[in-house]
Amino acid sequence: MPYATPFKRLLLGTALALGLFSSVQAADLQPLRVANQKSTIKALLEASGETQNVPYEIKWSEFPSASPLGEALNAGAVDVGALGDAPYVFALGAGASLKVISIIHAQGRNTTALLVPKDSPIKTAADLKGKKIVTGRGSIGHYLAIKALNDAGLSTQDVHFIFLLPAESRLVLDNGTADAWATWDPYTTVVTSQSNARVLVSGKNLLSNHLYFAATRQAIADKRVQLDDFVARVDRAYAWANTHPDEYAAAQARITGLPLAVHIEVAKDTQLSPVAIDDTVIHGLQATADTYVKEGLLSKHIDVSQGFDESFNAKRTRLDQASR
């Protein structure tokens, strides 16, 4: 169908904000193409009931990690997806025409962590000099490793990185091929509980632990109504997860195949809350980008302020209030 005119989008947006779903036909809105990493967001929305009465079609695309998800956003193959600090910086560095429209903050014990085997002689980050660290290239784990090294007076030149997906990363940590693994939950909880791995450095105080929902500029122009509604649903779903950790954990376990006990521990130890797009957030991500330039992982300086759309702050508040 042809794109809706600005006036038509305004009328549809008003109807959605007022909860007048009956007056809005799904046929009036284009499908929203959502990138999903290991079904995390889809499972959350389904478990919380937020996939009901959606006045447009949600087309889900599955990705094994943040890197290919960012590439899909960059290519315009999807409209919106969630990325951590580091993967989003990499996407912007690759020239992606993206804007952050929503941010969720994860406050948890070991949301991100640098892990070593339980009997490892490595006691501090400084002991990593000359060692092998496994992580995902451009992942939040990769950034945590860089931050931990820098805080210890080291750089990426002082260690050897092995870039693998999480499932492969655990194997090389367990078999001794790697000395440390920089990763995130639920993997931190899996290896600390099943392999008795030890947390060498927690990302709790080193990283923002933000999840950025980034949309293509084309989607913001053509599917603003859908994005406004989707962001509000995600906010409500995370609020539900905070008060229903057992149900949320069960939904995640069905998707990942990981033990239910692992997801319950993660859900009960993690609180998720929306964060407004402001100067503090933007400056924090700029520091991430500058770090990557310093380490030679980005070839040139990028201005991350161009990758945020603060107009969604007000929309999120109004839509959330209207839905109550």
Residue type, 303: D
On whether the CB atoms of residues 153 and 126 are closer than 8 A, the answer is: yes
Architecture of domain 6-107+208-323: 3-Layer(aba) Sandwich (3.40)
Q: Residue 20's pLDDT is what?
A: 47
Model pLDDT for residues 98-139, shown as the tens digit of each residue? 999 999 998 876 778 999 999 999 999 999 999 999 998 888
Based on its alpha-carbon atoms, the radius of gyration of the chain, rounded to whole angstroms, reads: 20
User: Can you tell me the distance from the alpha carbon of 120 to that of 132, in angstroms, rounded to the nearest whole number?
Assistant: 13
What is the token pair recorded at 158? 């002082």
Residue for token pair 């508040």: 317
* Domain residue limits, the chain: 6-107+208-323, 112-202
User: Can you tell me the distance from the alpha carbon of 74 to that of 106, in angstroms, rounded to the nearest whole number?
Assistant: 25
Residue 5 sits at φ, ψ, to 5 deg, of: -70, 160
User: Can you tell me the distance from the alpha carbon of 255 to that of 103, in angstroms, rounded to the nearest whole number?
Assistant: 23
Model pLDDT for residues 228-287, shown as the tens digit of each residue? 999 999 999 999 999 999 999 999 888 877 889 888 888 888 888 999 999 999 999 999
Which band of pLDDT confidence, cut at 50, 70 and 90, is reported for residue 159? very high
Task: Tell me the HSE value of 222 on the side-chain side, using a 13 A CA sphere.
Answer: 14
CATH placement of domain 112-202 = 3.40.190.10
Residue for token pair 């600005």: 6
Task: Report CA torsion sign: 157, 158, 164, 165.
Answer: negative
Q: Residue 185's pLDDT is what?
A: 81
pTM to 2 decimals? 0.80
Q: Do domains 6-107+208-323 and 112-202 have the same CATH topology?
A: yes
